[in-house]
Amino acid sequence: MSVQIKPRILLTKTLPLAAQKRIESFDKIELIHWKDGVIPRGELLNLVKGVDGLLCMITDEIDEEVIETAGNQLKVVSTMSVGYDHVSTAALKSRSIPLGYTPGVLTDAVADLAVLLVLAAARRLREGISAVLNGDWITWSPTWLLGSQLTDKTIGIVGFGRIGLGTAKRLKPFLGSNGKIVYAGRTVKKEAEEVDAKKVEFDVLIKEADVVIISCSLTEETRGMFNYEVFKKMKRSVILVNIARGSMINQPDLVHALSENRLGAVALDVTTPEPLSPNDELLKFKNVTVIPHLGSATLETRTAMANIAIDNLLAGIKGEKLPYQVEFN
Ligand code: NAP
């Protein structure tokens, strides 16, 4: 009697409960599960050897070395994220290994969070909460902790993809009849008509926008796109929000611009590095709000992402087209 060899899968973190139970219920795969935080590089290189499928996270650097170490039997890499800047598409493409990702299901959660950050920055939420906690709330005052409101303002969205559009739709009602939305990107987006948004050059956007939201994919072209020269051109009252990737912003330049009072308020879901040290210079500015990469962090969204990542993985193991497969250029 021949023994059927089960495909081996490496899962680099624990999934939300329902999805974790689902992946553990498959008796036709051998699951190698890293349970303790971020898998150290050495363990990743050790455990990936001989696997047929890899279910990874944005915290895993899946580069040429990892793919090469995995071996020729590797059939699929499935990341539980829409961004895939942590995966070497060149290494996968050259071996014809498909890459699965999770577009769409996280759009609502991330767009909700973008709105939260815009309002938090505009209304000085961090300072307000600190005042309550520190006993600095002495009295109501007509002049204390005055923020700015969105009525009649110009919102500039850099990267008008799924999340950019979702954020624009949510912010539109805040703007009143004289507010407007502009976006910068590589292509004109038909769907921008839904929110009356106009495409403008990046240089125009950063000069004219009262609120700049970064919702662009991280590529070699967009890495460090927001640097000191760009900050210098922005309005001094600008609210800058980043929900894309930390590396979109040149962070030392951001600190420089903040130290010269060049920016109104900044709210970041993503930073360089992650986690950001509590002693990081950026956190010393009271007009900077940082949250720990919570964009897609709802139970519903993370469960949906994990299930898509599993579906992509299973399809790849069988040699089928993945339900959500990255198109390599
Ligand atoms: P998407 O629909 O692919 O949108 C990405 C957009 O980036 C596209 O519209 C693209 O414009 C634009 N872009 C690419 N290069 C550009 C450039 N040089 N200048 C301006 N725009 C450029 O992806 P999505 O689902 O909206 O996600 C966007 C990003 O958000 C992801 O890549 C990920 O990094 C990040 N994200 C963060 C979180 C979080 O937890 N904070 C969660 C999910 C996603 P064109 O179409 O014109 O090329």
Q: How far does the centroid of ligand 1 lie from the alpha carbon of residue 110, in Å?
A: 12
Is the confidence at residue 217, as pLDDT, over 80? Answer: yes
Mean pLDDT, the chain, as a whole number? 97
Measured over the CA atoms of residue 101, residue 103, residue 105 and residue 111, the dihedral's sign is positive
Pocket test of ligand 1: the residue of 107, 158, 217 to mutate, having most ligand atoms within 8 Å of its CB, is 217
Q: Categorize the per-residue pLDDT at 251 as very low, low, confident or very high, splitting at 50, 70 and 90.
A: very high
Read off the tokens for 68.
């090469």
Contact criterion met (CB below 8 Å) for 37 and 60? no
Is the confidence at residue 277, as pLDDT, over 90? Answer: yes
Q: Is 293 a catalytic residue?
A: yes
Mean pLDDT of all residues in 14-24:
98
Mean pLDDT of all residues in 131-138:
98
State the DSSP code for 106.
Answer: T
Q: Categorize the per-residue pLDDT at 5 as very low, low, confident or very high, splitting at 50, 70 and 90.
A: confident
Is the confidence at residue 329, as pLDDT, over 90? Answer: no
**Domains of the chain and CATH, by start:** 8-105+299-317 (3.40.50.720), 107-290 (3.40.50.720)
Round to whole Å and give the CA distance between 55 and 71.
16
Burial 113-152 (b: 16+ CB within 10 A, else e): bbbbbbbbbbbbbbbbeeeeeeeeeeeeeeeeeebbebee
Is the confidence at residue 59, as pLDDT, over 80? Answer: yes
Determine if the pTM surpasses 0.85.
yes
In this prediction, residue 12 carries a pLDDT of 98
Task: Identify the residue with better confidence: 264 or 1.
Answer: 264
Pocket test of ligand 1: the residue of 82, 167, 226, 290 to mutate, having most ligand atoms within 8 Å of its CB, is 82
Query: Which atom number of ligand 1 is nearest to the Cα of residue 297?
Result: 40
Contact criterion met (CB below 8 Å) for 148 and 203? no
Catalytic, out of 33, 86, 256, 293:
293
Q: How far does the centroid of ligand 1 lie from the alpha carbon of residue 260, in Å?
A: 30
- In this predicted model, what pLDDT tens digit does every residue of 150-206 receive, in sequence order? 999 999 999 999 999 999 999 999 999 999 999 999 999 999 999 999 999 999 999
> What are the φ/ψ torsions at residue 83 (nearest 5 degrees)?
-80, 140
- In this predicted model, what pLDDT tens digit does every residue of 96-117 receive, in sequence order? 999 999 999 999 999 999 999 9
Q: How far does the centroid of ligand 1 lie from the alpha carbon of residue 96, in Å?
A: 24
Q: Categorize the per-residue pLDDT at 36 as very low, low, confident or very high, splitting at 50, 70 and 90.
A: confident
Q: How far does the centroid of ligand 1 lie from the alpha carbon of residue 159, in Å?
A: 5
Asked if omega into 273 is within 30° of 0 (cis), the reply is yes
